[in-house]
Protein backbone atom coordinates (compact mmCIF):
# COMPACT_ATOMS: atom_id res chain seq x y z
CA UNK A 1 0.00 0.00 0.00
CA UNK A 2 1.50 3.32 -1.05
CA UNK A 3 1.53 6.19 1.43
CA UNK A 4 -0.81 9.16 1.17
CA UNK A 5 0.04 12.69 0.04
CA UNK A 6 -1.27 16.00 1.37
CA UNK A 7 -4.43 16.90 -0.52
CA UNK A 8 -5.02 20.59 -0.16
CA UNK A 9 -7.28 22.78 1.92
CA UNK A 10 -10.08 23.67 -0.43
CA UNK A 11 -12.84 22.04 1.56
CA UNK A 12 -14.07 23.17 4.98
CA UNK A 13 -14.07 20.48 7.65
CA UNK A 14 -11.20 18.43 6.20
CA UNK A 15 -7.99 18.32 8.25
CA UNK A 16 -4.78 16.30 7.97
CA UNK A 17 -3.72 14.21 10.95
CA UNK A 18 -0.79 11.95 11.68
CA UNK A 19 -1.27 8.29 12.45
CA UNK A 20 0.98 5.58 13.76
CA UNK A 21 0.25 2.11 12.48
CA UNK A 22 1.87 -1.28 12.62
CA UNK A 23 3.61 -0.52 9.31
CA UNK A 24 4.95 2.89 10.35
CA UNK A 25 3.59 6.41 10.30
CA UNK A 26 1.06 7.75 7.81
CA UNK A 27 -1.09 10.80 7.34
CA UNK A 28 -4.85 10.50 7.63
CA UNK A 29 -7.74 12.80 6.86
CA UNK A 30 -10.61 13.79 9.10
CA UNK A 31 -13.58 14.75 6.96
CA UNK A 32 -16.58 16.58 8.38
CA UNK A 33 -19.90 17.23 6.72
CA UNK A 34 -22.88 19.20 8.04
CA UNK A 35 -26.50 18.77 7.05
CA UNK A 36 -29.57 20.52 8.42
CA UNK A 37 -30.77 18.55 11.44
CA UNK A 38 -30.95 18.39 15.22
CA UNK A 39 -27.38 17.84 16.35
CA UNK A 40 -26.97 14.13 15.63
CA UNK A 41 -23.31 12.99 15.38
CA UNK A 42 -22.48 10.17 12.90
CA UNK A 43 -19.00 8.62 12.94
CA UNK A 44 -17.70 6.37 10.16
CA UNK A 45 -14.35 4.98 8.99
CA UNK A 46 -13.98 1.76 11.01
CA UNK A 47 -13.27 3.67 14.23
CA UNK A 48 -12.71 2.18 17.68
CA UNK A 49 -14.45 3.45 20.79
CA UNK A 50 -11.64 5.69 22.00
CA UNK A 51 -11.35 7.43 18.63
CA UNK A 52 -15.12 7.93 18.60
CA UNK A 53 -14.88 9.50 22.05
CA UNK A 54 -12.40 12.04 20.64
CA UNK A 55 -15.11 13.36 18.35
CA UNK A 56 -17.61 13.53 21.21
CA UNK A 57 -15.13 15.47 23.36
CA UNK A 58 -14.20 17.83 20.54
CA UNK A 59 -17.85 18.60 19.86
CA UNK A 60 -18.65 19.12 23.56
CA UNK A 61 -15.70 21.49 23.89
CA UNK A 62 -16.76 23.57 20.89
CA UNK A 63 -20.33 23.79 22.19
CA UNK A 64 -19.11 24.95 25.60
CA UNK A 65 -16.74 27.50 24.04
CA UNK A 66 -18.75 28.45 20.99
CA UNK A 67 -18.31 32.18 21.59
CA UNK A 68 -14.54 31.78 21.11
CA UNK A 69 -15.11 30.82 17.47
CA UNK A 70 -17.83 33.41 17.00
CA UNK A 71 -20.84 31.10 17.26
CA UNK A 72 -23.79 30.63 19.60
CA UNK A 73 -24.32 27.26 21.31
CA UNK A 74 -27.67 26.93 19.52
CA UNK A 75 -25.94 26.53 16.15
CA UNK A 76 -24.87 23.03 17.17
CA UNK A 77 -28.48 21.94 17.58
CA UNK A 78 -29.41 22.92 14.03
CA UNK A 79 -27.04 20.66 12.13
CA UNK A 80 -26.41 16.94 11.95
CA UNK A 81 -22.69 16.26 11.89
CA UNK A 82 -20.94 13.44 10.06
CA UNK A 83 -17.24 12.78 10.74
CA UNK A 84 -15.50 10.26 8.48
CA UNK A 85 -11.93 8.98 8.43
CA UNK A 86 -11.15 7.43 5.02
CA UNK A 87 -9.73 4.00 4.29
CA UNK A 88 -12.49 1.87 5.78
CA UNK A 89 -10.45 -1.31 5.42
CA UNK A 90 -8.11 -0.09 8.18
CA UNK A 91 -9.38 -0.25 11.76
CA UNK A 92 -8.42 2.96 13.62
CA UNK A 93 -8.37 3.73 17.29
CA UNK A 94 -6.71 5.74 20.02
CA UNK A 95 -6.97 9.35 21.21
CA UNK A 96 -4.28 10.91 19.02
CA UNK A 97 -6.64 12.29 16.37
CA UNK A 98 -8.25 14.53 18.99
CA UNK A 99 -6.88 17.90 17.87
CA UNK A 100 -7.43 16.94 14.24
CA UNK A 101 -11.10 16.23 14.94
CA UNK A 102 -11.40 19.46 16.91
CA UNK A 103 -9.97 21.44 14.01
CA UNK A 104 -12.16 19.67 11.48
CA UNK A 105 -15.31 20.44 13.45
CA UNK A 106 -14.26 24.04 14.04
CA UNK A 107 -13.56 24.49 10.32
CA UNK A 108 -16.89 22.93 9.37
CA UNK A 109 -18.89 25.18 11.68
CA UNK A 110 -16.99 28.37 10.83
CA UNK A 111 -16.33 27.45 7.18
CA UNK A 112 -12.86 28.87 7.73
CA UNK A 113 -10.09 27.50 5.53
CA UNK A 114 -7.46 25.30 7.19
CA UNK A 115 -3.84 26.47 6.91
CA UNK A 116 -2.01 25.06 3.90
CA UNK A 117 0.22 21.96 4.26
CA UNK A 118 -0.52 21.68 7.96
CA UNK A 119 -0.82 18.41 9.89
CA UNK A 120 -1.29 17.66 13.59
CA UNK A 121 -1.52 14.99 16.26
CA UNK A 122 -2.54 15.22 19.92
CA UNK A 123 -5.09 14.05 22.47
CA UNK A 124 -7.71 16.48 23.71
CA UNK A 125 -9.44 16.80 27.08
CA UNK A 126 -12.79 18.23 28.01
CA UNK A 127 -11.30 21.24 29.79
CA UNK A 128 -9.24 22.19 26.74
CA UNK A 129 -5.80 20.73 27.24
CA UNK A 130 -3.68 19.08 24.53
CA UNK A 131 -1.95 15.91 25.73
CA UNK A 132 1.13 14.23 24.22
CA UNK A 133 0.82 11.13 22.04
CA UNK A 134 3.13 8.35 20.91
CA UNK A 135 4.88 7.45 17.67
CA UNK A 136 6.14 10.97 17.06
CA UNK A 137 9.23 9.99 15.05
CA UNK A 138 7.32 7.81 12.62
CA UNK A 139 4.60 10.41 12.26
CA UNK A 140 7.09 13.16 11.42
CA UNK A 141 8.72 11.04 8.71
CA UNK A 142 5.31 10.33 7.23
CA UNK A 143 4.42 14.02 7.30
CA UNK A 144 7.57 14.99 5.41
CA UNK A 145 6.98 12.30 2.80
CA UNK A 146 3.48 13.70 2.35
CA UNK A 147 4.68 17.29 1.69
CA UNK A 148 3.57 18.66 5.06
CA UNK A 149 5.44 21.82 6.13
CA UNK A 150 3.84 22.69 9.49
CA UNK A 151 2.96 20.40 12.37
CA UNK A 152 1.05 21.05 15.61
CA UNK A 153 2.03 18.97 18.63
CA UNK A 154 1.46 19.02 22.36
CA UNK A 155 4.04 21.00 24.33
CA UNK A 156 4.68 17.68 26.10
CA UNK A 157 5.83 16.14 22.80
CA UNK A 158 8.58 18.76 22.34
CA UNK A 159 11.09 16.42 23.97
CA UNK A 160 10.34 13.75 21.34
CA UNK A 161 11.25 16.15 18.55
CA UNK A 162 14.50 17.09 20.27
CA UNK A 163 15.55 13.46 20.10
CA UNK A 164 15.18 13.31 16.31
CA UNK A 165 18.20 13.95 14.05
CA UNK A 166 17.92 17.52 12.71
CA UNK A 167 18.29 16.37 9.13
CA UNK A 168 14.92 14.71 9.31
CA UNK A 169 13.26 17.89 10.51
CA UNK A 170 14.38 20.24 7.73
CA UNK A 171 11.60 22.06 5.99
CA UNK A 172 9.06 21.46 8.74
CA UNK A 173 7.96 24.07 11.28
CA UNK A 174 6.71 22.80 14.63
CA UNK A 175 4.08 24.44 16.79
CA UNK A 176 3.86 23.26 20.40
CA UNK A 177 0.58 23.92 22.15
CA UNK A 178 -0.92 23.46 25.59
CA UNK A 179 -4.51 24.34 24.93
CA UNK A 180 -7.11 23.53 22.34
CA UNK A 181 -7.81 27.16 21.52
CA UNK A 182 -4.20 27.55 20.43
CA UNK A 183 -4.76 24.75 17.96
CA UNK A 184 -7.76 26.46 16.43
CA UNK A 185 -5.90 29.78 16.27
CA UNK A 186 -2.93 28.15 14.54
CA UNK A 187 -4.87 25.87 12.22
CA UNK A 188 -7.73 27.98 10.89
CA UNK A 189 -7.07 30.90 8.59
CA UNK A 190 -9.35 33.92 8.69
CA UNK A 191 -10.40 33.20 5.12
CA UNK A 192 -13.60 31.31 4.37
CA UNK A 193 -13.44 28.45 1.87
CA UNK A 194 -14.82 29.09 -1.58
CA UNK A 195 -18.38 27.78 -1.79
CA UNK A 196 -18.79 28.29 1.97
CA UNK A 197 -22.21 27.22 3.19
CA UNK A 198 -24.16 29.46 5.57
CA UNK A 199 -23.96 27.72 8.94
CA UNK A 200 -24.91 30.32 11.57
Please identify, among the stretches 33-41, 46-54, 91-99, 102-110, the one whose residues bind Ca ion according to the rule CB under 5 A. 91-99
Residue 5 a catalytic site member: no
Nearer residue to a copy of itself within complex by CB, 84 or 115 = 84
Positive or negative, the CA dihedral 184, 84, 73, 192 is positive
26 binds, among Ca ion, a copy of itself, none (CB under 5 to 8 A by kind): Ca ion
Regarding 53 and contact with a copy of itself (CB under 8 A), the answer is yes
| Residue 26 binds to a copy of itself (criterion: CB under 8 A) | no
Instruction: Give the C-alpha separation, 24 to 156, whole Å.
Output: 22
Among the listed residues 92, 113, 117, 139, the single catalytic one is 139
> Does the active-site annotation cover 96?
yes
Q: Which of 110, 121, 154, 157 binds Ca ion (CB under 5 A)?
A: 121
Quick count: other Cβ atoms within 10 Å of Cβ 112? 22
Q: What are phi and psi of 62, to 5 degrees?
A: -65, -40
CA distance 186 to 193: 16
Among 24, 31, 68, 155, binds a copy of itself (CB under 8 A): 31
Count of beta carbons in the 10 Å neighbourhood of residue 47: 21
Active site residues: 96, 139
Amino acid sequence: HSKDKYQGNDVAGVVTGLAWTSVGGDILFIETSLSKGKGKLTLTGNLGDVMKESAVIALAYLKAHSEMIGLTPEVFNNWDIHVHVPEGATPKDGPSAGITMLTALASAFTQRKVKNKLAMTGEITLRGRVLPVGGIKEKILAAKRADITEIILSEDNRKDILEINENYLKGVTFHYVKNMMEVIDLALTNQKVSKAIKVA
